Amino acid sequence: MSYPPPTYLGDDGEVTARFRPVDTPPELPLAHGAASYLATGATTDGRFGLYRWDMGAEAGGAEPHFHRTISESFFVLSGTVQLFDGTSWRPSGPGDFAHVPEGGVHGFRNESGEAASLLILFAPGAPREAYFEGLADLAEGRWTPDPRGVAGVPRRARQHLRGAAQIT
């Protein structure tokens, strides 16, 4: 593997770095946690997206699914998170990491009864924010969609459920 072709052709570099202080409020406050959009596909020119997902002590997470067009990686910051590797749920703690290429079945959840936090990296940087915001609105009762509309949500987000409920 080699470096990709240059995308910046200048001689002196530019002042374009983005800094996000630790005390920046999360973009998606949840009743039992929060999601912080550290870098979105829009801010990285579609190269990647990076979120911090803070989960409260209540059980919750993503059921097994796969993506056709993006890879997803998980890095546990704190607590115990169950990571699904396509075969089984693995208890994962601070420093544990999982990378899931396109098509790989995966999921994550917190069943520990204690708060947990992880970083979620996806590449390329797809527009995932509206999907997560819609799920939060649904889970917290701010949105009650027509049942026919719910069935299309994963498809529009390019998220495919595993098994009988699979969306093709």
At 71, which CATH number?
2.60.120.10
What is the domain range of residue 84? 28-162
**Residue 124 belongs to some domain of the structure:** yes
Instruction: Read off the pLDDT band of 131 (50, 70, 90).
Output: confident
This prediction's pTM: 0.82
**Predicted pLDDT at 133:** 83
Q: Is residue 104 part of a domain?
A: yes
pLDDT number for residue 150 = 56
Domain assignment present for residue 140? The answer is yes
Contacts of 135 by beta carbon, 8 Å cutoff, 6+ apart: 153
The tally of domains found in the chain comes to: 1
Please report which confidence band the pLDDT of residue 152 belongs to, taking 50, 70 and 90 as the band edges: low
pLDDT in tens, 68-86: 999 999 999 999 999 999 9
Task: Say how far apart CA 36 and CA 29 lie, in whole Å.
Answer: 8
